[in-house]
Structure 1
Amino acid sequence: MNIKNLYIALCFLFIGNSFAQQTPAPSQTSDVTIEGGTAHLGNGKVIENALIMFSNGKITHVGNANSKIARRGTVINASGKHIYPGLIAANTSLGLAEIDAVRATRDFDEIGTMLPHIRSIIAYNTESRVVETMRPNGVFIAQVTPRGGRISGTSSVVQLDAWNWEDAVMKKDDAIHVNWPNALSRGRWWLGEDPALKPNKNYQKNVDKLVSYIKEAKNYLNGNRNSKSLPYEAMEGLFNGKQKMFIHVGGQKPITDAITVMKETGIKNIVIVHGQEAEKVADLLKSNNIPVVLERAHRLPNLEDEDYDLPFRSAKILSDAGILVGLGMEGDMERMSTRNLPFYAGTYAAYGLDKEKALQIITENNAKILGIDNVTGTIQVGKDATLFISKGDALDMRTNILTDAFIQGRKLSLETHQTKLWKRYSNKYKNN
């Protein structure tokens, strides 16, 4: 190798190291005890002066620090601080794209309309620099979800400190995502059409196409397999109850239609995503035990006659109606904005939802909706030691400053390329 090629190789090595994500934390080898902090368990309960211990990645004790129990391993004094379960983001394309403006980095939307066999987990990038920015805010788990088409594909649930997708996955192929047809449409103003909302004349036609496809898949799975169909086979979990169908839908009529139609096709395990106007069909949702994954509250009302603050109060309205409510992140800048998950929950708290219930929608509730509540979502004996310590309220961006963080008992580094830049330029101005 000549000197020129050597320089080029060293240059690429330096660039690769400078842009690579930090190495995942090693497995827990010694016990950890956290005492003295205020523990927010994620199920609505709070323990003042708490004592929490975990070993081999699992929580072994949750109680009061005044109890006469021997502390084990490394003892962390959390006095004056707050302890929370790791936060869970539903319905996000985190790890499926890196730079929105660079098409080659976007891998969340495949060509086609009916794509139940597309698996997002295969495309999940554990080396994403966006992913590492989640951890300093306490976001440790995410449902990685595809976009596009009528049936987008299959999501999976991952923890955000891993070497590869096989290490990251917590629940593989948990749900198939369907984009329900819009009952309303806007005219194309650039063609001189009226841009106001009006009934979509193709609504029922599009619904019929979707229903026909689902029935064809069911017929295929019932034994009429003339030729192999990967898309139809991918839908088997919807009919045997092993998978959920996440229906991305808004509007009173579309939500009602979606629930009615899916019950008729034999798919009962469904989740409503977005759910604008879900409060108008709260009784239907509750009677069918259907959860709702809301989107971020920071948006305008959908209709002109809605209250200006309805998006901010929706979580409280649905929770008060007895509906299981979670929080998703789909929308503009969704991958980068996922790190703000706790602050979006805090917005719902600011508009009437009890603070512990607001925490619950991004911990226990999301865990239940994603089917991982047996291992995470709350600080509870036997569950994964996925939790963090914050100097203040985790739902307030001014006070959510993490001091310690753990995923499955592994102690995380809270350093990212963003914190490095912050320290770098903070020092610059200190020296001037």
Structure 2
Amino acid sequence: MKIKLIYSLVCFLFLGNMLAQQTPAPKQTQDYSIEGATAHLGNGEVIENSLIMFSKGKIEFVGSAKMKIARMGTVINARGKHVYPGFIAANTSLGLAEIDAVRATRDVDEVGTMLPHIRSIIAYNTESKVVETMRPNGVLMAQVAPRGGVISGTSSVVQLDAWNWEDASIKTDDGIHMNWPNAFSRGRWWMGEDPGLKPNKDYQKSIEEFKDFFANAKSYLASNKSTKNLPYESLQGVLNGSQKMFVHVSGKKGITDAVNTCKELGIKNIVIVRGQEAEKVADLLNANNIPVILERAHRLPNGEDTDYDRPYRAAKLLADAGILVGLGMEGEMERMSTRNLPFYAGTYAAYGLDKEKAVQLITGNNAKILGIDDKVGTLEVGKDATLFISEGDALDMRTNILNEAFIQGRKISLESHQTKLWKRYSDKYKNQ
């Protein structure tokens, strides 16, 4: 019996090692110098023939390789290649679900409508097989956000090579996510209604419920709090400005109403998420210093009279209007598709946005919007050495081929279950 038990444990441990994610890289102990690459700094600037040096997880030097300066530690010859800051995916549910068809692996939302106290970071799974597929494309950080309800809960920003959520966290509980009601609804054809768009008769009622919830929270926070109310207490950050309110809304009317309602409630730090038609209210957004996290470009236009390529030009329209724009991943297959983040930015570049501004969408801009630009997002002295080397243009899926990647100076693995399968079957067909 003991022998059977021992064999069972050995098999269990073996399978666990086979199925588990790679062991996270240890802290940086060896200095690195990356020499000769074209450096895309993440702020719109480019340095040809660059030199980037980092030590103990921090960038120590960024400049020209022509400078006569002693190189630090191991020198990586990156001539003909490109260096980028680690890409940041905003507004994802990465790590909150593994297999869409298996309910037990999905932890993206909770029962209820007003849930500001729900913390997505607690459910973040660092062992996710989906998470490890991000790194080979340069996606090294993500904002993990909840879904569902009217107020979904809080998001947190993580780096994607960690033992647990505490290790992963770059910024915990950075903001609360709220789903603004739709101003229009489609008729339910199965109930004999006209299938076209029509005004949502419950729109104003939903707004009033949102306002009432905040009014009650303010009264609670100003009281003696003899009875603890966790949802109300969780709103203190967005009311005093220490947390951001990420309002998921589209349409000119919806965005206008959302901004004015939040201002009325005293919510100071607002971010518009999705933001279709946001360029139509650019003056309102600029006047209130409100950024926009766009959706993926690969989608159909909303209106019947909308230009066919309007979704592809959205980033340029907003950037030209002077709005700070980032790129998020909400939508169908969002967790698996997050690895394609750089290619969605590339689509915006193909439709008029300057290439370096497209890089900014998923580096410097996303870092500013998420409040982590003091640590990451650009290649600057003093910031985390979270960066990667690509053989070519990282926004082009044909040339986004990573050679090296570092998170906080730690040289990370670029292997995933997908790369292992690719090598396995490549070998199979080579031998035929």
Aligned twin of 2:392: 392
Q: 1:242 and 2:242 equivalent? A: yes
Question: Alignment partner of 1:225: what SS?
Answer: coil
For structure 1, the residue ranges without an aligned partner over 5 or more in a row are none
Once residues 194 and 89 of structure 1 are traced to their aligned partners in structure 2, the CA distance between those partners, rounded to angstroms, is: 38
Once residues 224 and 267 of structure 1 are traced to their aligned partners in structure 2, the CA distance between those partners, rounded to angstroms, is: 22
Question: Alignment partner of 2:255: what SS?
Answer: helix
Q: For residues 170-185 of structure 1, what are the structure 2 equivalents within 5 Å?
A: 170-185=170-185
Aligned twin of 1:408: 408
Question: Alignment partner of 1:415: what SS?
Answer: coil
Q: Per-residue displacement from partner, 1:34-56 (whole Å, max 9, x unpaired)?
A: 00010000000000000000000
Moved over 6 A (4+): none
Q: 1:367 and 2:373 equivalent? A: no
Q: Size of the alignment, in residue pairs?
A: 432
Aligned twin of 1:127: 127
Once residues 376 and 35 of structure 1 are traced to their aligned partners in structure 2, the CA distance between those partners, rounded to angstroms, is: 21
Once residues 363 and 333 of structure 1 are traced to their aligned partners in structure 2, the CA distance between those partners, rounded to angstroms, is: 22
Once residues 110 and 421 of structure 1 are traced to their aligned partners in structure 2, the CA distance between those partners, rounded to angstroms, is: 35
Aligned twin of 2:285: 285
Task: Give the partner amino acid of 1:48.
Answer: E
Q: For residues 120-269 of structure 1, what are the structure 2 equivalents within 5 Å?
A: 120-223=120-223, 225-269=225-269
Question: Alignment partner of 2:25: what SS?
Answer: coil
Question: Alignment partner of 1:213: what SS?
Answer: helix
Once residues 303 and 211 of structure 2 are traced to their aligned partners in structure 1, the CA distance between those partners, rounded to angstroms, is: 28
Displacement of 1:245 in angstroms is 0.1
Task: Give the partner amino acid of 1:326.
Answer: G
Task: Give the partner amino acid of 1:426.
Answer: S
TM-score under structure 1 normalisation? Answer: 0.99
Once residues 251 and 268 of structure 2 are traced to their aligned partners in structure 1, the CA distance between those partners, rounded to angstroms, is: 20
Once residues 87 and 2 of structure 2 are traced to their aligned partners in structure 1, the CA distance between those partners, rounded to angstroms, is: 51
Displacement of 1:3 in angstroms is 4.1
Aligned twin of 1:338: 338
Q: Do 2:240 and 2:268's aligned partners in 1 also have CA atoms closer than 8 Å?
A: no
Task: Give the partner amino acid of 1:329.
Answer: M
Once residues 111 and 353 of structure 1 are traced to their aligned partners in structure 2, the CA distance between those partners, rounded to angstroms, is: 40
Task: Give the partner amino acid of 1:247.
Answer: V
Q: Per-residue displacement from partner, 1:327-359 (whole Å, max 9, x unpaired)?
A: 000000000000000000000000000000000
Displacement of 1:227 in angstroms is 1.7
Aligned twin of 1:36: 36
Displacement of 1:188 in angstroms is 1.6
Aligned twin of 1:63: 63
Q: Per-residue displacement from partner, 1:5-41 (whole Å, max 9, x unpaired)?
A: 4443333222211110000001100210000010000
Q: Do 2:58 and 2:408's aligned partners in 1 also have CA atoms closer than 8 Å?
A: yes
The alignment's C-alpha RMSD in Å is 0.9
Once residues 44 and 223 of structure 2 are traced to their aligned partners in structure 1, the CA distance between those partners, rounded to angstroms, is: 47
Aligned twin of 1:116: 116
Task: Give the partner amino acid of 2:89.
Answer: A
Question: Alignment partner of 1:242: what SS?
Answer: coil
Displacement of 1:149 in angstroms is 0.3
Q: Per-residue displacement from partner, 1:211-243 (whole Å, max 9, x unpaired)?
A: 110111112112253421000111110111110
Aligned twin of 1:20: 20
Once residues 386 and 22 of structure 1 are traced to their aligned partners in structure 2, the CA distance between those partners, rounded to angstroms, is: 18
Question: Alignment partner of 2:344: what SS?
Answer: helix
For structure 2, the residue ranges without an aligned partner over 5 or more in a row are none
TM-score under structure 2 normalisation? Answer: 0.99
